[in-house]
Structure 1
Amino acid sequence: MITQEVILVNEKDEEIGTMEKMEAHRKGLLHRAFSVFIFDKQGRMLLQQRALNKYHGALLWTNACCSHPYPGEKTHNAAERRLAEELGFVTGIQEIFSFIYRADVENNLIEHEYDHVFAGEYENEILYNEAEVAKVDYRKLTDIKKDIEINPSQYTSWFKLAFPRIEKWWKEKYNNVTVNIQFE
């Protein structure tokens, strides 16, 4: 089995070391991560339902993709890499904010991440990796918000924490109009 290391960081996102990914999650140590949010031209958000075989969060709905950069890898590059690996496409993304969260998840694991949040646009065919993703769906932000309120256990912890900020960012940036988003 191939092991993956994560980048341990302090609360300023300064690197303080590396550790095997599962060990970092068992110990609940703060490490660098990213979450990518993808929108279509109608302003709908792309959600993925995590694959059944995921070590935590199986079959939960979440943002387009999320993961950890490898030691020595730029977070932006890692986000682009995982988009291609999980969803089969590349598109321009930009970092819009970051936040720290800690959440107990199943299998006695703890997510404690300095999460860099990226956003981008994509409208074409999605050829997702079935080892990572069970299904995908574009949804209106208002529908997602209502569903989180009704079915919170169907969503990942980090998605529920990031969603209000994404929704606020979207409303401030695009003022609820249909736009052609231009990301670099």
Structure 2
Amino acid sequence: MNKPKYSSAVLKNEKVEYFDVVDIFDRVVGLAPREYIHANKLFHRAVHVFVFNNQGDIFLQKRSMNKDSAPGKWVSSCSGHVDSGEYYFDAAVRELGEEIGLHYSKDLNLAMIEQARPETGYEHVHLFVCNHDGELKLDICEVSDGMWIDLEKLDLWIEENPRDFAWSFVYLWKRFSRHF
């Protein structure tokens, strides 16, 4: 049976995003607007994708200054909320296309699952990885800049200037790099 999707609604010419509210075990317990979920620190779902090239570098994006969360901060290759009724994998594929112009899923693998906690913004996070050696098409509404960076240089940059990054990215990167 297909679950209904409630990814957005229009009220007074404004787009309102609705996400599933979940419990500590990632079971859906309700539906609420994005702003309400964030303001009340309710558990919800998100995906992050780390895109690596054949040299082993990771692609990072710098969030647009128009974003309400971590504007101008460096973050994962792409990330985003899971829409109501959407699967984590499908959300990762969607975000790859929307944010950096990758429209495929053949090489996308689940690398890590993080339970919702303050460090993740109260998000249950599925972190995916993939490889790509080609052009990326950045969505200027979402992304102000992007770059490939060597992993050792990234670790040093985070150590020296952690405020350049979204805190959730720093948390996920440290967890990921310990295990891979």
Please classify the TM superposition score into its range, dividing by the shorter chain length: 0.7 to 0.9
- Residues of 2 paired with 1:47 and 1:101: CA distance? 23
SS of residue paired to 1:19: strand
Segments of 5+ residues of structure 1 without an aligned counterpart are: 104-109, 171-184
Alignment-derived partner of residue 127 in structure 1? 137
Alignment-derived partner of residue 96 in structure 1? 111
SS of residue paired to 1:119: strand
Identical pairs, percent: 26
* 1:113-152 map, 5 Å: 113-152=123-162
Aligned length: 164
Offset at residue 115 of structure 1 (A): 0.9
Offset at residue 36 of structure 1 (A): 0.8
- Residues of 2 paired with 1:49 and 1:97: CA distance? 22
Alignment-derived partner of residue 4 in structure 2? none
Offset at residue 139 of structure 1 (A): 0.6
Q: What is the TM-score with the length of structure 1 in the denominator? A: 0.85
Offset at residue 169 of structure 1 (A): 3.4
- Residues of 2 paired with 1:131 and 1:56: CA distance? 14
Query: Are 2:25 and 1:12 aligned?
Result: yes
* 1:1-184 map, 5 Å: 1-91=14-104, 92-99=107-114, 100-103=116-119, 111-170=121-180
Regions of 4+ moved over 4 Å = none
Q: Which has the higher contact order (CA 8 A, sep 6+)?
A: 1
Q: What is the TM-score with the length of structure 2 in the denominator? A: 0.87
Deviations 1:17-75 (A, max 9, x none): 11101110011111111111110011111100000100121110011111111111111
Letter in 2 for 1:30: F
Offset at residue 117 of structure 1 (A): 0.7
- Residues of 2 paired with 1:18 and 1:126: CA distance? 34
Segments of 5+ residues of structure 2 without an aligned counterpart are: 1-13
Give yes or no for contact 1:37–1:119 (8 Å, CA) kept in 2: yes
- Residues of 1 paired with 2:178 and 2:56: CA distance? 13
